[in-house]
Structure formats: structure tokens, C-alpha cells
Amino acid sequence: DAMVIQNPRYQVTQFGKPVTLSCSQTLNHNVMYWYQQKSSQAPKLLFHYYDKDFNNEADTPDNFQSRRPNTSFCFLDIRSPGLGDAAMYLCATSRDQGQDEQYFGPGTRLTVT
């Protein structure tokens, strides 16, 4: 009955080697979010999609890109991972924008070697 699914749960990549993280949802929610969470810190919003409309946070590095080919799937692409990009990446969804609960996926822990 998983509602927000992230694959893989653990990802190891080499410095500079592109990596893609995936998220899927069974809730048919309009909004999908990508957060970066480093140890003992709050989740930091990278970007989100409202339907097909992409919204990038001003301080999200250009190294991070996202794709949402359909309602159910959203991808996070890191073009050239650096050591500082090692973190937990959380995908979340909400039915709509505004005062709607955000449902988080289990996260993908990214290690950069």
C-alpha cells in the first residue's frame, strides 16, 4: 500500500558521474516535490512540479535537474555529483498546492565516492 515510492533506497555514485533518482506515486496528486536532507537538518526544497509546471528554488544548483514525464513519476537528475551532494533525497507529493498535507517517500540515500 506504499503511496510514494522511491528507487533505489540507497545509491552510490562516483564523483562527477551522473545519477538519476526516481519517485513514483499512487495517489494521483498534482504536486510532486524533491527535497534534499543532510544529516540532522531540515529538508531543503530543491524544486517542485505543479502538474507539468516546473518551479525551481532560487538556490538550487544548476547541477540538479528534474523531469516529470507523467502524473505518477518524477525524476531527479544530478549531472555531476560532488562530495557535497551526498545526502538523503526525499520525494513528496500533495493533492494540490497550499494547505494540503505533503506525503513523503522513504527517501534515497546518496553516497558520492
Q: Does 81 bind other proteins (CB under 8 A)?
A: no
Q: Is 50 in the site for other proteins (CB under 8 A)?
A: yes
Which listed range, 19-27, 45-53, 61-69, 70-78, lies at the site for other proteins (CB under 8 A)? 45-53
State whether residue 85 is helix, strand or coil: helix
Contacting residue, 19, 23, 24, 43, with other proteins by CB under 8 A: 43
Cell of 75: 525524476
Smallest gap from Cβ 71 to other proteins, in A, equals 18
Cα angle 61, 21, 5; round to 5: 125
> Which is nearest to 105 in space by CA: 8, 40, 13, 30?
8
Site size with other proteins, rule: CB under 8 A: 18
